[in-house]
Chain A
């Protein structure tokens, strides 16, 4: 491998990328759009839970419960029903997500214990149902505690205290922003090198290269290295937007993020080049790349926690490189983890990077 040749090839890649009418725009605009829009819309925070109340008690306590419920953020009591059937019908029509059932004589019997309100949720939208029911029962429980204290009743309902560390408000955005940067890198550093190489095949320029004595590794490296710069640009745009727009800055060292980003860009671009080596047309490479990206996004813990996957799927995730990158990004962003704590993830990424560079160089054939 000759450094002089690699430098000449890198210069060519950079010039071609700069002169391409759309690639530079994609590299800047795509992260901007994704970071500005997606955290606002792809949000698992549940807002505006609609509650229908079936108040059979009609006491001071039940009225207070309803008032407090209405005052709570994210909950609105938007209907009252006399019967449970009527409330269910409202849920079916989509007018309510959660039913709060207060039994007859509740306020009198609650002092003795042995009676309780019931909360029912519409499980069709699982997240909203689950979280909505939780919000409602929390609010009800709070009202009940206050009321018991005021009236000198000592029956204490069982209490579970949950404190979310590192993302104290369980703000979904904090969880999403590092993940979105990973998604961007998967797409940009995976697709662009693949498309770049296949377009050289389609335009025939690769043949002009194949007939020269350039060695495979040099040529492949010239395709991979420009994506160090691209990936750093993308992550920088992501971090700046995350900080300016959402007020989320990394807790840990930015250098650690950049190092992981470079390693990951090598992994993705190595995969892209390997796929391109095996594809004769753009279409082929795009379809194969899509298959990988689907699996990467769904199985790397980006959107669904790995812990809740079945055991066999958890084993597979160890072979999915973005898994390690996501762990690094979240740990550095939210916990301020250092490189020493993340050595395992870094080594895994480094191994993937080396393996994919070797495979991409080996699978590149100068001769048919």
Chain B
């Protein structure tokens, strides 16, 4: 599988919680270096699917490979090759920016020299150099998200999973955040991103739209817009998701 061009490959992935089927038999591939948008309404099963791919949750059934590792049997191996940014901000508030970055980089097996070099570069890129000793709890949300992204990518993983990375962030910061995503993709990382903002979907190479645990559409934004004869991804989403039972 490893030399395959698909860095993520999923077949019949299903997750049930009791009677509730959160993810219902989904199959898809993500190509290496791609920005893959994973769209869906609240409760459509995006996060659950992503957690299975990251080795945080056991699939009820189905197979999948992430970075050449089996999601059923090699969860710990997968974790060496991915970065993950949770929907809920989850760095240590009482550690400084640099301490957080250093902690996670060490866990990913980077040496002190590597950490020093990459964190210097990262802080400069993020324009956060003056804040590196500030406690994380004291910085604004937009900055926290940027730091979380830096932490998820400092070890240059093959795939980065971003779960609603721009939730609650202002448009200007969102724009900057997407520049970071593009930059990471240009360096060869595959980006797997969920979002609610449909303008962001336009930035993706390909998008899938999940409705009630199933994938209802999967193609590039251009193809989808053409297929449904509309101008924006927002309209595509409205058409595809109009029959959704779950959600708000």
Chain A residues, CB < 8 A from B203: none
Asked if B97 is at the interface of the complex by the 8 Å CB criterion, the answer is: no
Chain B residues, CB < 8 A from A169: none
Asked if B79 is at the interface of the complex by the 8 Å CB criterion, the answer is: yes
Asked if B230 is at the interface of the complex by the 8 Å CB criterion, the answer is: no
With A210-B56, A367-B55 in contact, do A5 and B86 touch (Cβ < 8 Å)? Answer: no
Let me know if A367 and B75 touch, CB within 8 A.
Answer: yes
With A210-B56, A211-B82 in contact, do A205 and B106 touch (Cβ < 8 Å)? Answer: no
Contact of B76 among A9, A12, A208, A213 (CB under 8 A): A213
Let me know if B92 and A16 touch, CB within 8 A.
Answer: yes
- The bracket for how many chain A residues form the interface is 20 to 34
Let me know if B107 and A213 touch, CB within 8 A.
Answer: yes
Residues 50-93 (chain A) with a chain B CB within 8 angstroms: none
Asked if A19 is at the interface of the complex by the 8 Å CB criterion, the answer is: yes
A208 to B94, CA, bound (A): 15
Chain A residues, CB < 8 A from B106: 4-5, 8
Tell me the total A-B contact number using a CB cutoff of 8 A. 78
Let me know if A207 and B79 touch, CB within 8 A.
Answer: no
Chain A residues, CB < 8 A from B54: 211
Closest to B55 in A: A367
With A16-B92, A214-B107 in contact, do A204 and B86 touch (Cβ < 8 Å)? Answer: yes
CB distance from B56 to the nearest CB of A (A): 6
CB distance from B108 to the nearest CB of A (A): 7
Asked if B175 is at the interface of the complex by the 8 Å CB criterion, the answer is: no
With A5-B106, A214-B107 in contact, do A16 and B57 touch (Cβ < 8 Å)? Answer: no
Asked if B84 is at the interface of the complex by the 8 Å CB criterion, the answer is: yes
A211 to B82, CA, bound (A): 8
Let me know if A15 and B86 touch, CB within 8 A.
Answer: no
Let me know if B58 and A368 touch, CB within 8 A.
Answer: yes
Q: Mark A200-240, 1 if CB is under 8 A from B, else 0.
A: 00011101111111110000000000000000000000000
Closest to A19 in B: B94
CB distance from B79 to the nearest CB of A (A): 4
Asked if B121 is at the interface of the complex by the 8 Å CB criterion, the answer is: no
Residues 331-356 (chain A) with a chain B CB within 8 angstroms: none
Closest to A17 in B: B94
Let me know if B76 and A215 touch, CB within 8 A.
Answer: yes
A346 to B84, CA, bound (A): 44
Let me know if B104 and A208 touch, CB within 8 A.
Answer: yes
CB distance from B224 to the nearest CB of A (A): 30
Closest to A18 in B: B94
Chain A residues, CB < 8 A from B57: 367-368
Let me know if A213 and B56 touch, CB within 8 A.
Answer: no
Let me know if B84 and A211 touch, CB within 8 A.
Answer: yes
Binding site for B on A (CB under 8 A): 2, 4-5, 8-9, 11-12, 15-16, 19-20, 203-205, 207-215, 366-368
